[in-house]
Amino acid sequence: MSLEGRFALVTGGSRGIGRGIALKLASKGARVAVHYFRNADAANETLRAIRKSGADGFTLQADVTRADEVSGLFDRVRREFGALDVFVSNARPEVPEFFQAPFEISLQQWSTAFHSQATAFLVAAQSAATLMRDNGRIVAVTYGAGSKTGGLQPWVAMGSAKAALEALVRYIAVGLARRGITVNAVSPGWTEDSVLNTLPGAVQDLIRGWYTRGWTPMGRLGTPADVGNVVSLLCEEDAGWITGQVIFADGGASLMNPEMPTELQMAQPAQSA
């Protein structure tokens, strides 16, 4: 289904998952505002790819840990587009700015996580509500596993912030439902060309091997294009009855039983006819 004539804003749209989302929306005909924080070159490269696909857009810069700069994004979109149909909240700080275990984390690191996720999404939703046309789409990128578990101790700030973000998705979904605006969250699993690639090489190899052996039933990690496809589906007119949900886009990884060794969960693949 086409998104011709629609206007979209993707925060953190210059790289990784955000870039995959921006390119998919553009491929469907949407004009896309590509937000970035520090890497203007990456944002411009994404914009060039959008234009190469036959769509258009512009880049805009903001620190999403600052509420005034988040609201400023929508002021810019109003000036450039005049309206908004799709808002994707994807941006987050770099890992060192929040990645610390519960008993070592500073209040600054804790605040960085919450301001970039829960606070930024609240401010963005308030701003989007005044700009977005009826039957619009709001999608937040979360990490559902991290918001419900506690094993990865240094994820405490971001996991807690994502849990608050997911709660906000439900509240905002109810608040905007009468206008036909849907609000959902998409939770990718480990994805190539994302935070995974900032980890030490040995850690990346360990994660890839684990997924290939079966932690993801489909036998591979996700890609930014995979996540972009799911977000695009939620933005279609036919998805208008889905709201307030967390959609896991992880190749089935969230279906696996963490109490059982992966090898005991691996069924033989069904044979094609």
Task: Measure the CA–CA gap between 215 and 49, rounded to whole angstroms.
Answer: 33
Class of domain 7-194+223-252: alpha beta
**What residue type is assigned to position 15 of the chain?**
R
Closest CA relative to residue 8, chosen from 21, 134, 189 = 21
Residue 48 burial (C-beta neighbours within 10 Å; 0-12, 13-18, 19+): exposed
Provide the pairing of β-strand 246-249 with 31-36.
unpaired
Task: Measure the CA–CA gap between 191 and 65, rounded to whole angstroms.
Answer: 24
Residue scoring higher pLDDT (182 or 262): 182
Whether the full predicted model's pTM is greater than 0.85, yes or no, is yes
Share of the chain above pLDDT 70, in %: 97
Residue scoring higher pLDDT (8 or 146): 8
Distance in angstroms between the alpha carbons of the first and the last residue of the chain? 31
Indicate the range of 50-64, 110-124, 200-214 predicted with least confidence. 200-214
Query: What pLDDT, in 10s, does the model give residues 220-232?
Result: 999 999 999 999 9
pLDDT, residue 162, reads 97
Q: Are 194 and 16 in contact (CB under 8 A)?
A: yes
Please determine, for residue 262, whether its predicted confidence score (pLDDT) is greater than 80.
no
pLDDT, residue 267, reads 60
Indicate the range of 119-123, 155-159, 215-219 predicted with least confidence. 215-219
pLDDT, residue 10, reads 98
